[in-house]
Structure 1
Amino acid sequence: MSEFALTITPLDLGSIPSEDAILQAAQRILDSVQSWHVGKAIRGVKTFNRPKQAGDGAPWHARRSEHVAEEATFDELWSKLAVNKAENEKEFIPEIKKVTLIKQISPTQSVWTLYYTFPPPVSPRVFTVLQVVHLEETSPRSGTIVSIPIDLSSDQELAKLEEKGVRGRYTSAERIRELEDGKTEWLMATSSTPGGSIPTFIVERSVASSIAQDVPHFLKWFQSLPKAAEVQSNQ
């Protein structure tokens, strides 16, 4: 049996691989980022890309940032990026207008649908994903968050929970890791397609900037939370 790999090919709810297989696939992608083409640094966020390879449904893009405790600690990043991830993303990613929990499979696995809107003439997009989270408590701590596209067409009741829009697909692997210098690394790799008739070259040229901007958007939102400053002062 071949190894499970992260791609934009959606999975049926009945064909989800083991959590170990998902985490191993995410680890392989994240570990490979250091060998990818180095792109522009955008607002202090490093970007990388890898052309579409055999088995990929689309090219891959990645970003890497490091954060001092005054920005966000490991615990703070994990609490907002791994817990209620979709709901929190709606607060700092402007294009996400609605998120819905489709199914809670286990404490570490859940299926969400995310509804994105864009300026005309681009139609709204719907992305439905399985989210898997795993935390390694041994020092230095490391946490992994994986998103995999899911096809709900085999379950009409669950499919009714999706918003109306063009179906897009994305897969992503994120790693939050404590570094020796006291900073926290946030690494994310993703492959995606918005669906519809948007030319691939138009989509691809905007991905690096889009994913890099998510970092300052997150930090701005996080710092605006009422308890953020208080929590940091007590570290």
Structure 2
Amino acid sequence: MNFQNILVSSENGLATIIINRPKKLNALNKETIGELHAAFEALENNKNIKTIILTGSEEKAFVAGADISEFAHFSVAEGGNLARLGQEILFDFIENLSTPVIAAINGFALGGGLELAMSCHFRIASDNAKMGLPEVSLGVIPGYGGTQRLPQLIGKGKAMEIIMTAGMISADEAKEYGLVNHVTNQQELLPLAKKLASRIKRNSSIAISAAIRAINANYKDGVNGFDIEIEEFGECFGTEDFKEGTSAFLEKRKPNFK
């Protein structure tokens, strides 16, 4: 896969996507969003890929926001369409992938950058990372899922404060609030992401995909997450992974999932 704004590599079932616009602090523009969609779609369809890490190039930014120059003169209709298409093409798309995605936040994750990180299945951060949703300082609100995912992750009150003050929080604060799972130094960020990915990779991909669907169901309007869990749990019993996992447990050996 050849792209202009991202770098994609894979090894031993682990894929890494690097957003590579360092002069723009890896800001999201229309082209980058399209490339990210294409990359995630290709990796999702590659059955050899078990986990994906998403990060930014260099040490200043994961993604410092959206490219404001692209939409500063949009109309009401164009603004609504921008948010709708972005959510469909990338942010909702990542959240609903069956392949686990870890965001490795290596610097500024602001606006659309934090929204991108929040669409991943979980997040880790370097100790120099700064996160925030500063959109109200521009006379607009987060449009790529920020008003929905941030309260889901850290609670309504704290999300209200972060969005309304348009301020930034540190990596340690993000960990305290439950926005990121781990904080480490810049040099250890990708090794930690790979270590977590390796632990995920040892388990059943089929079961992990089912768990993602069941967890996400709890946050969808009109969907009973408990019912989805029951359904997905039952479906697991018909898989080769279930047979292998339970046999390995009873035989006191490590499972070999296909």
TM-score by length of 1: 0.31
TM-score (norm 2): 0.29
Q: More relative contact order in 1 or in 2 (CA 8 Å, sep 6+)?
A: 1
Pair member with larger Rg: 2
Structure with the higher fraction of residues in helix conformation: 2
